[in-house]
Structure 1
Amino acid sequence: MDPSVLGTRLASSAIAPLLKKLFAAPPPGAGLVERPVRLSAWVSFRGERRTLSDAQVGKLATHLVREAVDSPGERPFPADEEAAVADALARTLLALGDLDMDDVQAVRLGHRELARALYTGATEAGHGLAPDHHLSADAALFLASALEWACLHVLQFFTQRSTFVARTLVAQSRDQAEIIARLDALITRAPRPDARHASFERRYRDHVAAKHGKLTIYGIDLTSTPGTWPLDVAYLSLTSTEQTDPPPRTGPDPDPTRHFRGPLPADQVLATRSRVLLRGVAGSGKTTLVQWLAVSATRVAPDGPLGHLHDLVPFVLPLRTLTRHGERLPEPRLFLTAAGSPLAGAQPEGWADHVLTAGRGLVLVDGIDEVPEAERARTRAWLGDLLTAYPDNRWLVTSRPSAVRENWLAADGFAELTLSPMNPADVAAFVRRWHAAARHDADDTARALLDGYERQLLTAVAGKPDLGRLATNPLMCALICALHRDRRGYLPHGRKELYEAALAMLLSRRDRERDVLTTAGQELRQEPQTQLLQRLAYWLIRNGRTELVRERAEAIVGEALPAVPEAAALGDARTVFDHLLLRSGLLLEPSPGAVTFVHRTFQDYLGARRAVEEWDIGLLIGHAADDQWEDVIRMAVAHARPRERAEILDGLLSAGDAAPPGRERSRIHLLAAACLEQATELDPAVRDRIGERVNALIPPPDQEAARKLAAVGPLVLDLLPAPGETDEEVSRMAIITASHVDSEAAIPYLAGHADAASLDLRSQLVWSWHRFDTHRYAEEVVARLDPEELYFSVQSEAELLVLGELGGRPWVQIRTAGITPSAVAAYVERHRPTRVVLDAARGDHCVPWDVIRSLSGREELCLALLHTPLSPEEWRGLAGTPRLTQLMVSLTELDTLPEGCVFQDLTWLIVHGPASEEPLDVSEFPAYFPRLTHLGVNTTEGGETPLRGLDALPDTIEVIHY
C-alpha cells in the first residue's frame, strides 16, 4: 500500500494533531546554538519536556491503526494482527528519540529515508529483531506504508515550526560558506586554464583518437582489403585476474577467509583502482589495451561502462621509445616530445602540469620489460617522482610477467593484475571477428570461401589440443587465422613451425598476393630478407632494446649487404632498408627516425636464429636469468641442430647449478625444462639430467614455487604427480601449479583430482574455475566435486548461471563485484542455498547492501569486508542483518564498532591486518557477539597480533592465529 493511498483512508486534519504530540513545543528563535539541537531533545516522550509516556505513544499508534482499519475499503491485513501492528508502529515511532539528527537534516533526508532510519533504529533497539519480524506479509506492508505516511506528517510539522525557516537559512549559509571555501582551495590548487589550453586539449584528444584508434590485424592485407581496422571494431575485450591465496588453517574452518580478486574486464582495471601494474606475456594484448584506454578516454560518456575515464587526458608513454637512446626519462612537459608526438611544438606552456595537477591525467606507461634491466631502477625512481608530484591521476604500467619482481610498485599503492590467457570462448570470438574483418569489401566468391574457413577453423581450435595451446593470446590467434586462410585450411602444429609459416606468409607471399613489386621491378626472396631482419633483431636483443634509430638500422643493413648480394642488387643500404620497412610487414616506424619490429615475438624469433648462426652460446647462457632473453633461448634451442641443442641445454644446467640456491637457480633449471618442448631430437642423457633438476623442483614446496613452476607451460603437466599418488599437501601444490598453467590442457589433470575427499583439495579446484572455460571446467571438474562443507566460489554471472544449471549447491561464495543483486536473488530463490558468502573484501570498498537485501533471510550469511571502511550506522545495519553468522573485517575497522551494537547470530569473527603496537582489546567482544565461538586473527606481516583481554573471554570462544 502506497503512503498516498493510505492517506486517502485517514483524514489528515484529524491525524496530524496526534502526530504533533510526539514533539514538545520548541522555544522561539532561530535555534542558533553552538551545536544544532537533535531530534531526541524535542521528542515528547523523553527528556525534561516529557509529556507522553511510552504507553501513550502506544495508544496513539493504536488509534492510527484503528482509523485505517475502520475506514471504507478492503481490510489491509488480518484482524488478529491489529494489536501486533499497532505495537510495531509504536516501537518504530519511539525510535525518533534515538535519531542523531536535527529537523533540517530530517527534512533533507525525505520521508522514505526517515522511515528507513526509524525502522533500523527500532531493529537495533529490539536487539536485532525487526519490528515486523512477527508480522505477516500484508501486515508488514501496511506497517511500512503507515510509517512512511506518518513520516510525511512529521516532516510537514517540522517545516511549520517557527524555528525551522531560520534554522534552514542558517544551515544553508553555513553550507554555502563551506562550498565557497572548498572551491577557493580547488582554484588555488588547480588554476583555471586559459583558452589556449582548452583549444589544444581538444586538438590533442582528436589526435590521440586518430593515432591509436586503429589496430593491425595480421594477414588481412594479403588481398586488397586493408590491414588496419578501427579499434572499436577489432578490439577484443580482455580479462585480468588478481588472486590472493588463503592463509594456512588451524582448527576447523568453513573457509570464509578464502577469496579471489577477479576476474575483471581488463578495461575496468582502473575503475576501482587509480594505480595498476598490469602483467601479460608477449602478445597478450597489453599495448592494445593501452590504445583502447587512450582512445576511450577521448570520447567515453560519463555514465557509460568506462565512465571513470571521462574527461581524463591520456598520455601514452611507450618506454621503448622513451629509452631509445638511453636518455633521461621525461618530465611531464616533455611527454609529447619524448613520445614523438607531432603536436609537441604546439603544446601551451604549463598545459601538462595543469592537467596532472588537477588529477585529470590518464598516464599509460607501456613496457617496463622493454627497458634494459640495468635501467629499471632508474625507471622506478622516475615513476616514484611523478607519483609524488602528481598523486591524484590514474596510472597504468604494463610489463611482461617476470620483468619485475612481485610488489615492485606496491609501496606506491599499485595493485598488481595479470592479463589472462584467452579461453575457448575468447578464441572463438576472435576467429569470428577476424573473418568478419576479412570479409569487409570482399567479393561474393571470397566471402563464401571465408565463411568456410571460419567454420573449419572454429572446429579445429575447439577439437585440437595442440592448436588450443597455441591460441592463447590475440597475436597468436591472428597469425593462426591468417595462416589458415593463406594455406587454405592447413595449419602448422608447433610454435616454431607457426613462426616459420608466418614469416613465409609475410616475407614471401604477401607482396605476390597483392601484386606488389620491389624497386626496379625486382622481387626479393624470403631468405635474403630474413638474413637482414635477423641482424636487426639480434642487435636489439644484444643491446637490450626493442627500438633503434633509423641511422643505426641502415648501418646494420649496410654492413650485411656485401654478404647478401641478392639484397645488394636493389641498391644502397637506405634503399634496401626502405624495402624492408615498407614490404616485409615485420618492421614499423612508430615515430620519425625510429624503427621497431611489429611485435617483440618476431624480434626474439629472428634474433635467436642469428644467435645460433653466430654460435654465441656463451652470450645465450650468460643471459639465462634475464627475462628479456627467455624466449630467445627457447627459440635458439628450436633452431639448433641436435648436437648444438645439447650444448645449449648442458650450458643452461651448468649455469643453473652455479647460481646461488633460490629463485635464479630454479628459474634457469625450469627454463631448461621449458626448452624441451622445442627439442624434437635430443641426447637422452641431456634429457635425463634436466629431469633430475626438475625432480628437485617438483613437487613445489609452497604456493609461490607452485605458481612459478606453472610458467614452464603445459609441459609441466606431464611432470606433476598423478592424482591419488601423493599426500594431501603435495597434491594441493600440484593443483595450484596446474591451475596456473595457461592452457585448457590443464583441465584433464585437474579433473583427475575432482573425486578427492579432502576439503582443501576440493576448495582449490573450485577457486581455479575462473581461469578456464566456464562451461567445460564446470562439466569436467565442478560437477564432480562433493559439496559437503564446500563453498562453490563464483566470480561472474556466467559461473553463477552454470552452477544453477548443475542444480545449485548448498554453500556458495559470491564475489559481489562481478555479479548483480538480481542475479544473486534469482539464484537464491531458485536453489535455496543454506549458506551464502558475500565477498566484498577486495576492490569494492563498500558494504554490498543491494546484494544483502536481495537475499531471502532464510540462509546463513557470511560477509568478507576487508579494506571496507565501516561507519557506526553500517555496523548497526550489519548487526540487524538476518542470520549473519560469519564476518571478516580489517583490524582497524573494529575501532568504529559502536557501543550497544549486538550481533545475535554471529559465531565466527575473523580480523585481518598488520600487527599493531596497540594490542587489540577483545574483552568486550562477548557483549557485542554473544554467540561467538571462533575468533580468527590473521596478520599480513606474519606472527601473532597482540591481543588484550583474552582472560575475559569465555572458554566457549576459540582463538585462532593464522
Structure 2
Amino acid sequence: MVDPAALGARLASSAVAPLVKKLFVKDQPGAALVTRPIRISGLVSFAGEKRDVTPKDVEKIADELVRRALKAAGPGERPVDAGEAVAVKHALAYSLAALGTLTIEDYEAVALGPEEFARVLRTRSAVTVTTFALSRDAELFYDQLLHTASLHILNFFTQRSTYIARQQTSQSQQLARLVAAVDVLLERLPSQSREDAAFEERYASYITARHGTLTIYGLDVYAGTSEWPLDTAYLSLEATRESPGEGAVKVAAERVLAKEDHVLLRGVAGSGKTTLVQWLAVTAADRTYEHGLTHLIGRVPFVLPMRRIVRPGRELPAPHEFLTAVGCLVAGEQPPGWVERVLEGRRGVLLVDGMDEISEDRRASAKRWLRELTRYFPGNLCLVTTRPSAVPDKWLDPTGFAELTLSPMARDDVDTFVRRWHRAAGADEAVGAALLQSVRAASELNRLATNPLMCGMLCALHRERRGFLPQDRKSLYEAALTMLLERRDVERDVTAVRLPFAIQVQLLQKLAWWLIRNSRSEMDRSDAVHILGEAAPAMNLDGGGEDVYRWLLLRSGLLREPAEGRVHFLHRTFQDYLGARLAVQELDFDLLVNHADRSEWEDVILLAVAHARPKEAEQMLRRLAAADGTGEGTAGGTARGKLLAAAALPYAAEVAPAVRQLVEEGIRSLIPPRTEREAYALAEVGGELVLHLLPGPEEAVGELAYLMPLVAAKVGSASALHYLTRFRRHTDRRVQLVLAASWSVFDRELYVREILMHLFLRPMVPVHGPDDLRALRAIGGWPVIQVVGAYRVEDLTELLVPEQLTQLFLDAPHPVEGLAWLSAFPHLTDVTLNVAVSASTAQQVPPGVRLNTPDARST
C-alpha cells in the first residue's frame, strides 16, 4: 500500500494547476497600488462582488483533487477507503475556502513557502482530526494534498503580472529604508582614515564569518554537520523588564539595546544568551542595513566572552587588547589606537557574555572594569549576560545598567524551533509534529522544552529513539550522552577505534569535576592532558594523556578548543552533569553542600541529588533545608538553601516522608514572596510544588498581591493556569496587569477564554502577530494594546476593533512609515512609539491623539 503522505506528490502539475487556477480571478495588469492593497481574499473567485465560482464549486475542486490523487496511486494502493476519502474531501474544501479570508498579499504568501502557507490555511479553517473524523492515514493524505495545492497556488501567484509589479514596488520601499539607514550612518560615522576604514571592513567580514553560524545540538548526528546558519536559526525571543506600576514589560530580545545603552541580561543555561550576542554582533557588522535597527547602524561590535578574557593572574583587557584577548584572527592588522577611536566616537557595541562563567572572586574586578569602560567611553552600547542568580539584583545599577530577564520560549517559539530543526536535519515533518504532541502531553517534557538547548536535545533524542523520550532531566542527559558517545560515530559511519562508553564517561567526569572545583569553565590543554594521563593506566588505556585527549576532542562531541591551548565542554550543562556524577562516586557530599551558596554550583547539586542513592540524597536535602543552618559559608537553612532543597526534591527517586515534609516546610516559610526576584526564584526552583502552597486571591492582599500570579505565570503549566483563574476578578491593578501580560506563556485561545475575557480593568495586552489580534477580535476587541515586533498596517486596521481601541503602543523593529492610518480608530487617545519620527509624520496623527516618542521634538 502506498504511503499516504506521499500520495499528493504523485499529482502532476498538469493535473493540479488547472484546478488551482479556478480558485482565482483572471489576471489584471498593474501593481494594484490602490488605497487599500489587494489581498488574497480579493483575488479568489468565490468571494467578493464578482464571483466566477461558487463556494459549492470549491468542494467540487477538492473532490477532483482527491479523486485524481487516488487514481494516481494505482490499483490496490489506496491508503483510505471511500468513507475516509469523503472526509478528506470535506476537510480539503474547508481549507481551500479559507483563501477567501486571508488578508495577506500574494508576494507575502510566497515568502511563507508552501509548508507554512498550508499551515496557515489549516489553522484558519480550523480543520481538526476530530471535526472531520480523520484517521491517521486520512490526516496524512489530507496534509499532503493541502501542501501540494499550496505549492501550486504560490506558483500561480508568481506567474501573475501583478506579482512582478508589486515585487518591484516592494523593492523600491526597501530602497527607501536603505536610504534612511544611510542617513543615520552618515550622522554616526565620523571621517575615518583610509587605514581605519579598510580594517573596519575586514573586521566586519571576520565577525560575520566567526559568529554567522550556530552549533545546534543533535544536528551533527543526522545531517553531517552541527553548524546552522545564524540567519536561519535565530529565533526571536523576549526579554522582560519589571517596570514600577506597570508590572512585567516584554520587549524583543534583539531590541534590548534600542532603549537602553547599558543592559544586564539574565537567562538560564541554554536560554539563548550567547546566540543573542552572536546575532547582535553579526547584525551590527552587517553593511546592508536592512535590519531596521537604527541603533546598531554604523557601530562596531566587540564580542567579549568572560571565560576567554579572564585569565588567572591577569588583568582584564584594555580596549586595545580586546581582539587579542579573544583570539581574533585579524587582531594583528588593527591600526594603533583604532578601538579607542571607535569608543571615543561612541560607535562601539560591547557584548560581554557569561558573567556567571567566571569565579565569584573575579566578578568584583569585572564590575570595576565595566564601570571604567562605560564611564570613560560614554555613549557606547553594552550588553552583559549572566545566569539569573550569579549576581545579585541591581548589581550593575550604580553604573547605569538596566536589568532584563530572557523569557522562556513560548509555545509558538517551540513549534517554530522544532519545525526548523527537523527541516535542517532532513527529517519528516510528521516526526516533528509527533514530538510536539508528546511535549504537550507530558508536563515534565513541557517544562524542559523552554530553551533552544533543551529543544535541540529533545529533537535529537526523539528521532534517535523513534519517538520514545525520557521523562526527567537526569534521564535526558544520560540518553544524550549515550547518543553522543556511543551512537554518534555509528550513525555517521565513522570506523575509528572507539573507547567503551563507561571509560569515556569516567574520563570526561574527571575533567568536569576539576573545572567545577576550581570555579572554571575552561582549562589549559596541558592541564587536561595531565589529568587524563594520570587516569589512563588505571583504565588500561594504550597511549598517554595526549592520545586520550585528542581522541576525546575529536570523537566525543563534548569537548572543543575555543582557542589555541584552551579547552572547555560543548555546554556548561554537560560539565555540570558529569561533574555531579563523579562527586557522588567520590562521596564529596560535604563539598557539594558547602558550596550551595554559590550560583555556579546549583545545577551540580541538583544533578548530584539525582545520581545519589536514597540515603545520600536525603542527607543532602536535610542539610540544605535545615532550619538551624549547617555552618558558616553554606546555604543550609537559608532562603537559598530551602529553595535549592525544593528544586532538588523532584530529582530524588526515593525520599522519606519526614524529609519531604522538612523540605516543604522550608519552602512554605518563603511564601508569600516579598520581591519580584523572590517570586521568580520560587517559580524557577519550586515549580508545581509552589502552586499548592501559594495563597489564593482572598489571602493575597496589599501591594504585593500581584507577586502570586507572577509566580504561577512563570511556572506556566496547566495547573498554573487553573490557579490564575482564581485571580481574574482580583481588584488590584497590578494583578490584572500580570494576568494580561502573561497570555503568551499559555495556549492562546484557552487563556483568552479562561482569563482575558474576565479582566474587568482591561489593562495593556501585548500582541505578537495577526493570530493574537484575531484572538482579541473574537472577544470584541481590547482597549489598550502593545504591538511587539514587526507589524503590517493592514493587519492593524483590519483586525483591531475601532470602537474599542483607546491606547496603542508600537514596539516595532522598523521605523514607522506614516501614521495617517490612525484615523481609522475614533476613540484612540494615546499612541506610543519606540522610535523617533519626523515632524511631517507626527503631523499625520489625528487631532486629539497624543503622540509619545523617544524624541521630544516630534511629540
- TM-score higher than 0.5: yes
- Cα distance per residue 1:139-181 (max 9 Å; x no partner): xxxxxxxxxxxxxxxxxxxxxxxxxxxxxxxxxxxxxxxxxxx
Distance in 1, Cα, partners of 2:210 & 2:853: 46
Matched residue, 2:491: 513
Please state if 1:735 is matched with 2:700. Answer: no
Provide the alpha-carbon RMSD of the alignment: 3.8
- The 3 A distance-change label for structure 1 pair 335 and 289 is same
- The one of 304, 310, 314 aligned to 1:323: 310
Q: Is 1:263 aligned to residue 251 of structure 2?
A: yes
The residue number in structure 1 matching 2:554 is: 582
Distance 2:594 2:776 in 1: 54
- Range with greater deviation from structure 2 (222-231 or 315-324): 222-231
Q: Assess if the C-alpha contact under 8 Å between 1:778 and 1:802 holds in 2.
A: no
Question: In structure 2, what is the equivalent of residue 108 of structure 1?
Answer: none
Residue 653 of structure 1 and its aligned partner are, at CA, apart by: 2.1
Residue 641 of structure 2 aligns to a residue whose secondary structure is helix
Q: Write the deviation string for residues 364-423 of structure 1: whole angstroms up to 9, x where unpaired.
A: 111011111111110011111111222222221111111112222233332222211111
Q: 1:843 to 1:721 in 2, by over 3 A?
A: same
Pairing 1:790–2:747 present: no
Judge conservation of contact 1:652–1:672 (CA < 8 Å) in 2.
yes
Is this contact kept in 2: 1:821–1:851, CA < 8 A?
no
For 2:699, give the aligned amino acid: T
- In the TM superposition, what is the alpha-carbon distance from 1:740 to its structure 2 partner? 2.3
Q: In structure 2, do the counterparts of structure 1 residues 664 and 276 end up closer, same or farther at CA, with 3 Å as the change threshold?
A: farther
What TM-score results when the alignment is normalised by the length of structure 2? 0.71
Cα deviation digits, residues 588-617 of structure 1 (max 9, x gap): 101111101000100111111111111112
Code of the aligned partner of 1:406: D
CA drift of 1:288 comes to 1.3
After superposition, residues 588-607 of structure 1 pair within 5 angstroms as 588-607=560-579
Aligned to 1:675: 648
Contact (CA 8 Å) 2:212, 2:230: kept in 1 or not? yes
Q: Does 1:471 align with 2:449?
A: yes
Shift in alpha-carbon separation, 1:656–1:391, aligned structure 2, 3 A: farther
User: Which residue pairs with 2:519 in the alignment?
Assistant: 544
Tell me how far apart the structure 1 counterparts of residues 753 and 336 of structure 2 sit (CA, whole Å). Answer: 61
- Residue equivalent to 1:641: 613
Q: Is the 8 A contact 1:507 1:584 kept in 2?
A: yes
Larger radius of gyration: 1
Name whichever of 360-369 and 489-498 sits farther off: 360-369
Q: CA deviation at 1:824?
A: 4.9
What residue in structure 2 maps to residue 4 of structure 1?
none
- Per-residue deviation, 1:772: 4.0
- Give the structure-1-normalised TM-score: 0.64
Query: What is aligned with 2:413?
Result: 426
Instruction: Please give the alpha-carbon distance, in whole angstroms, between the structure 1 residues aligned to 2:300 and 2:842.
Output: 39
Counterpart in the other structure of 1:882: 848
In structure 1, what is the equivalent of residue 464 of structure 2?
486
TM-fit CA distance, 1:630: 0.7
Gap change, CA 1:350 and 1:718, over 3 Å in 2: same
One-letter code aligned to 1:226: T
CA–CA distance in structure 1, aligned partners of residues 611 and 493 of structure 2: 32
Alignment of 1:851-866 (within 5 A): 854-855=822-823, 858-859=826-827, 861=829
SS of match in other structure, 1:396: strand
Give 1:285 shift: 0.9
Aligned to 1:670, the other structure's residue is in SS state helix
- Counterpart CA distance in 1 for 2:835 and 2:802 is 29
SS of residue in 1 equivalent to 2:317: coil
Give me the whole-angstrom Cα distance separating, in 2, the residues matched to 1:216 and 1:635.
24
1:199-257, Cα deviation, whole Å (9 max, x unpaired): 332222222222212222222222462222222222222222223252xxxxxxxxxxx
Q: Equivalents in 2 of 1:286, 1:432: separation in Å?
A: 21
> CA, structure 1 residues 345+864, in 2 after alignment: closer, same or farther (shift >3 Å)?
closer
The residue identity in structure 2 corresponding to 1:322 is: I
1:131-142 residue pairs with structure 2 within 5 A? none
Amino acid at match of 2:590: G
- In 1: Cα distance, 2:283 partner to 2:732 partner: 47
Q: In the alignment, does 2:699 pair up with 1:726?
A: yes
Deviates more, 1:550-559 or 1:654-663: 654-663
- Aligned-pair CA distance for 1:469: 1.1
Residues 222 and 425 in structure 2, CA contact (< 8 A), matched pair in contact too: no
> Which residue in the other structure is 1:498 paired with?
476
Deviation at 1:769, TM superposition (A): 2.4
Partner of 2:217: 218
Q: Is 1:435 matched up with 2:422?
A: yes
Residue 767 (structure 1) aligned with residue 741 (structure 2): yes
The residue aligned with 1:525 is 500
* CA drift at 1:773: 4.8
Kindly state the Cα deviation for residue 192 of structure 1 after the two structures are TM-superposed: 3.2
Q: Does the CA contact (< 8 Å) of 1:219 and 1:227 recur in 2?
A: yes
Per-residue CA deviation, residues 868-889 of structure 1 (Å, 9 max, x unaligned), is: 99999999999x95387xx999
Aligned positions of 1:803-882 closer than 5 A: 803-809=775-781, 811-814=783-786, 824-827=796-799, 830-833=801-804, 836-838=806-808, 854-855=822-823, 858-859=826-827, 861=829, 881-882=847-848
Separation in 2 of the partners of 1:871 and 1:300? 24
Distance in structure 2 (CA, Å) of the matches to 1:875 and 1:310: 23
CA contact 2:217–2:226 (8 Å) conserved in 1: yes
- State the AA in 2 paired with 1:583: R
- Counterpart of 1:380 in structure 2: which amino acid? K
Q: Distance in 1 between matches of 2:700 and 2:300?
A: 55
Distance (Å, rounded) in 2 between the aligned partners of 1:720 and 1:782: 25
Q: Distance in 1 between matches of 2:313 and 2:722?
A: 48
1:751 pairs with 2:739: no
Alpha-carbon distance in structure 1 between the residues aligned to 2:818 and 2:582: 60
Shift of 1:561: 1.9
Give the aligned partner of residue 624 of structure 1. 596
Shift of 1:645: 0.2
Distance in 1 (CA, whole Å) between partners of 2:191 and 2:796 is 47
Distance 1:261 1:758 in 2: 18
Structure 1 residues 499 and 204 mapped into 2: Cα distance closer, same or farther (>3 Å)? Answer: same
1:555-608 CA distance string (max 9 Å, x none):
11122223322xx22x10000011111111100101111101000100111111
CA contact (8 A) 2:623 2:637 kept: no
Shift of 1:621: 1.3
Q: Is the 8 A contact 1:300 1:307 kept in 2?
A: no
Residues 656 and 824 (structure 1), Cα distance of their counterparts in 2 relative to 1, 3 Å cut:
farther
Show structure 2 runs of 5+ residues with no match: 1-185
Provide Cα deviations, 1:909-959, integer angstroms capped at 9, x if missing partner. Answer: xxxxxxxxxxxxxxxxxxxxxxxxxxxxxxxxxxxxxxxxxxxxxxxxxxx
Distance 1:297 1:611 in 2: 43
Q: Structure 1's 318 and 608: CA in aligned 2 closer, same or farther, altered over 3 A?
A: same
- In the other structure, the counterpart of 1:116 is none
CA distance in 1, matches of 2:390, 2:820: 42
SS of 1:233's equivalent?
A: helix
Aligned partners of 1:234 and 1:433 also within 8 Å: yes
Distance 1:790 1:236, change over 3 A: closer
Q: Residues 655, 201 of structure 1: CA spacing in aligned structure 2 closer, same or farther, 3 A cutoff?
A: farther
What's the CA shift string for 1:823-855, capped at 9, x where partnerless? 554455x3512x623458x999x9x99769715
- Unpaired runs of at least 5, structure 1: 1-182, 247-257, 440-446, 899-962
User: Which residue identity is paired with 1:239?
Assistant: E
What does residue 509 of structure 2 align with? 534
Q: Decide whether aligned partners of structure 1 residues 406 and 350 sit closer, same or farther in structure 2, where only a CA change above 3 A counts.
A: same
Alpha-carbon distance, 1:510 to partner: 0.9
1:522-568: CA deviations, max 9, x gaps?
Answer: 32011111111111111111111101110011111122223322xx2
Deviation at 1:710, TM superposition (A): 1.7
Structure 1 residues 472 and 662: alpha-carbon distance in aligned structure 2, compared to 1, 3 A threshold = same
Cα 1:773–1:423 shift into 2, 3 Å? farther
> Which whole-Å CA distance do the structure 1 matches of 2:226 and 2:762 have between them?
50
Aligned partner (choices 393, 400, 404) of residue 387 of structure 2: 400
> In the alignment, is residue 556 of structure 1 matched against residue 522 of structure 2?
no
CA deviation after TM superposition for structure 1 residue 797, in Å: 4.2
- When residues 554 and 775 of structure 1 are mapped into structure 2, their CA distance, relative to the original with a 3 A threshold, is farther
Q: Which amino acid aligns with 2:544?
A: D
Name the CA distance, whole Å, in 2 between partners of 1:512 and 1:432.
25
Deviation string, structure 1 residues 688-718 (Cα, Å, up to 9, x no partner): 1111111111222454432332221523444
